[in-house]
Chains A and B, each alone.
Chain A
Amino acid sequence: MNLLIKHDWTAAELLKESEAGGKKRNRVAGGWIADLAAQKKVITLCPLCTGKFNPARVQYRKEKEFPVCQATCDGCSTFDIRCSLYIYDELYRQVRSTADERRELNRHRAARIKRGFL
């Protein structure tokens, strides 16, 4: 037996749900985010939603150099200034330069100068 729970959508809710990138009407947040992850899209989640997402399971990497970003949460469609940012791991190096990466480059640079050839 299925229980059907009726949701009365207001005009404001419909408008909000039709925003670019927002979760579509009648979509469960988990399924919507799974779709985004399958498309390797950037995912932004507010503090309330971020705990429900396991980035490693879908090969995503949490942005740690910037612990927060300002974005609309892909889970609850709320703009939040403390969202977490997740980027598909394979694409991460194409769009982000981290201090660790630059530190490694500098270490190599120093070693190469010592050897006499940059």
Chain B
Amino acid sequence: MQYLGNLSASTPIIKKYKASAAQLIGTVVIKSAANASGQISTSTTTSIANALGHVLDNGMGNAASGPISYSTTQGADEAIFGVIVNPDQILRAQMVTGATGTAITADAIVTASSNGLTFVGGTSVASPDMDEGIVWYTSGANVGKSRKITSTGATVTGTVIVPFAANAVGDTFQYAGVNIGLQGVTLTTDLTKVRTDIAIATGATFSILDLELFGTGDSYVHLLLGGNAWLQVQS
């Protein structure tokens, strides 16, 4: 993930925190659990509860000994990572499919729609359910145009309300289970990319701020830390 800026347009706030596990650069770190050693811990693919911020370095050393990582060995360096802690920070993550983050699957129209209200491809948009997600064309008459998916009645058929131009068999399109204002995305196992092949609003409590809808390998989603530790309401 890349730090893009802040919702409030303020300056980034950088803190150096002690880790209670090895951290990966560009990931979101969360508050350490009770009785854990450090101050920050690793998020998961489906949870950023108590998020503290975004890791800016990886503790990597240029010595032959390799990365400086978390250690409980007496005399070893303490693992400390630079973290952007703004609660309203905007993070930019690539859209991918699969747990390890391969390019988004491009689909092709198999049944033309003259009224532009449906797209019928070769893969299921109903399971996982892409209803309320986004669809955009990457070739044909609608290239570069996107619409919100409003229903996914049949397995391979998605519906929109604002019509596209008539599509044709062979036009390529992409879809994703993400859309503006939805909360919940599932990350890849390296915790740096967003999976689009998961049903909408599933996973970690990121809120989606914006979408960059390009090709299979360069589409991005902008995220806010919905589950951050700084703005929690105490009863």
Chain A positions near chain B (C-beta within 8 angstroms): 20-22, 38-42, 44, 65-66, 68-72, 81, 83, 85, 87-88, 91, 93-97, 102, 105, 108-109, 112-113, 116-118
With A95-B25, A105-B218, A118-B139 in contact, do A39 and B59 touch (Cβ < 8 Å)?
yes
**Is B61 within 8 A of A38, CB to CB?**
yes
Instruction: Name, among A39, A88, A108, the residue most crowded by chain B CB atoms within 10 Å (CB to CB).
Output: A39
Q: Which residues of A contact B11 (CB under 8 A)?
A: 66, 68-70, 81
Interface string of B1-28 (1 = CB under 8 A from A): 1111100000111111110000001100
A69 to B10, CA, bound (A): 9
A99 to B80, CA, bound (A): 29
A70 to B62, CA, bound (A): 27
A42 to B56, CA, bound (A): 7
Instruction: Give me 23 A-to-B residue pairs in the complex whose CB atoms sit less than 8 angstroms apart, sorted by A's number.
Output: A20-B18, A20-B39, A20-B80, A40-B62, A41-B82, A42-B16, A42-B56, A42-B57, A69-B12, A69-B13, A69-B14, A85-B14, A88-B57, A91-B58, A95-B2, A95-B54, A95-B56, A96-B2, A97-B92, A105-B212, A116-B143, A117-B139, A118-B144
Looking at the complex, which one of B59, B139, B144 makes contact with A41 (CB distance below 8 Å)? B59
Q: Which residues of A contact B17 (CB under 8 A)?
A: 20-21
Q: Which residues of B contact A41 (CB under 8 A)?
A: 57, 59, 80, 82
**Is A97 within 8 A of B4, CB to CB?**
yes
Q: Which residues of A contact B62 (CB under 8 A)?
A: 38-40
Chain B positions near chain A (C-beta within 8 angstroms): 1-5, 11-18, 25-26, 39, 54-63, 68, 78, 80, 82, 92, 136-140, 143-144, 172, 192, 212, 214-215, 218
Q: Which residues of B contact A116 (CB under 8 A)?
A: 139-140, 143
Q: Which residues of B contact A40 (CB under 8 A)?
A: 57-58, 60-62
Q: Which residues of A contact B137 (CB under 8 A)?
A: 118
**Is B16 within 8 A of A21, CB to CB?**
yes
A44 to B59, CA, bound (A): 15
With A39-B61, A41-B59 in contact, do A97 and B2 touch (Cβ < 8 Å)?
yes
**Is A39 within 8 A of B12, CB to CB?**
no
A87 to B2, CA, bound (A): 13
Quick one: closest A residue to B4, CB to CB?
A: A97
The distance from the CB of B224 to the nearest CB of chain A, in whole angstroms, is 15
Additional A-B contacts beyond A69-B12, A97-B3 (11; CB < 8 A): A20-B78, A21-B80, A22-B16, A38-B61, A66-B11, A95-B57, A97-B2, A97-B92, A113-B144, A117-B143, A118-B137
Looking at the complex, which one of B4, B16, B25, B192 makes contact with A20 (CB distance below 8 Å)? B16
**Interchain residue pairs A-B with the least CB separation, the first 6:** A21-B16, A42-B82, A97-B2, A118-B138, A71-B14, A113-B144
